Amino acid sequence: MFDVLLYPSSMGELEIKTMQKGGDTLFLLPDVVQVISQETQSLDGRATSNQASLLKASITSLEDDERFIETVIVDGKEERHYYVTEPGVYRVAMQAKSSGAKKFQNWVLKEVMPSIRRFGIYPPPEVNDDDFLLQVADQQAKQSQLLSQFMRSSMEKFKHLDNKVDEQSDTIKLQGSVLQSLKERLDTVELNNHSNLEYFDVSEVIRSLEIDESKLTLVVAQCEKVASEKGSIIKSRSAVYEKSSVFLWLL
């Protein structure tokens, strides 16, 4: 099945049969050649050339993907004809090299194909003011819907980021509290650092008292016992006593 386009030539409307194939519009080649020839004769007062010669030259110049032999039913009979694609139409017009060919080419390029791509038909449907306003309103509604969806999506993302910031803020506050607690504990330790105590080297005290240094461990243990009973002992970090690091603490 084919559709008929009416070409507005200077001597009236001329028919051009078309068909759709794979989403492409195909033009009946003999009709294209006839329209170009008649339009050129009308504009220039002469024919471009013999239509049969132009048809043959056109078929030869077309690429394989620009021309197709299609079978159509005309008056109940099968007919096989050459059909050309949109680029094929332009190539045929260039082959003719005439004012009629140029006018026909511009018609296909600027009017026919834009209408077919937009509306699926040529000529384009008439649009009155009400239809135009409805189309504009519909487009604005779609744009508003897209904008609303974008804003909702953006707000959800911002809300998610705010929650992340709040979580990090809570973590920072908790860490600050821990650090403050540690600082207070360090301050307490520094205040209770027993700065009023005098420290003596136990080894030196033993030697000054002429006590055998083999009694060092016993003396240290006795000192710790006395200090513990008075509640004024400072415990060592290490449980191992060395002669060079053992001190006697007295109030």
* Confidence (pLDDT) at 237: 40
Domain's final residue, options 72, 103, 119: 119
Domain's final residue, options 76, 99, 119: 119
Question: Does the residue 155 lie in any domain?
Answer: no
* Confidence (pLDDT) at 208: 77
Number of domains present in the structure of the chain: 2
* Confidence (pLDDT) at 194: 52
* Confidence (pLDDT) at 247: 46
Residue pLDDT tens, the chain, 251 long: 578 999 999 889 999 999 999 889 999 999 999 999 999 888 877 655 578 888 888 889 999 999 999 988 878 888 899 999 999 999 999 988 888 999 999 999 999 999 999 888 888 887 765 665 576 677 778 877 877 887 887 788 878 887 887 788 777 877 777 677 767 766 665 556 555 555 566 677 777 777 777 777 777 777 777 767 766 555 444 444 444 344 444 43
Question: Does the residue 100 lie in any domain?
Answer: yes
Distances (CA, A) of 207 to 113, 201, 202, 218, 226: 117, 10, 9, 14, 20
* Confidence (pLDDT) at 232: 53
Can you give the residue range of the structural domain that contains 208?
198-250
Distance from C-alpha of 176 to C-alpha of 170, rounded to nearest angstrom: 10
Question: Does the residue 19 lie in any domain?
Answer: yes
Question: Does the residue 186 lie in any domain?
Answer: no
Domain's final residue, options 119, 152, 170: 119
* Confidence (pLDDT) at 156: 82
Query: Rounded to the nearest 10 degrees, what angle do helices 29-44 and 86-96 cross at?
Result: 40
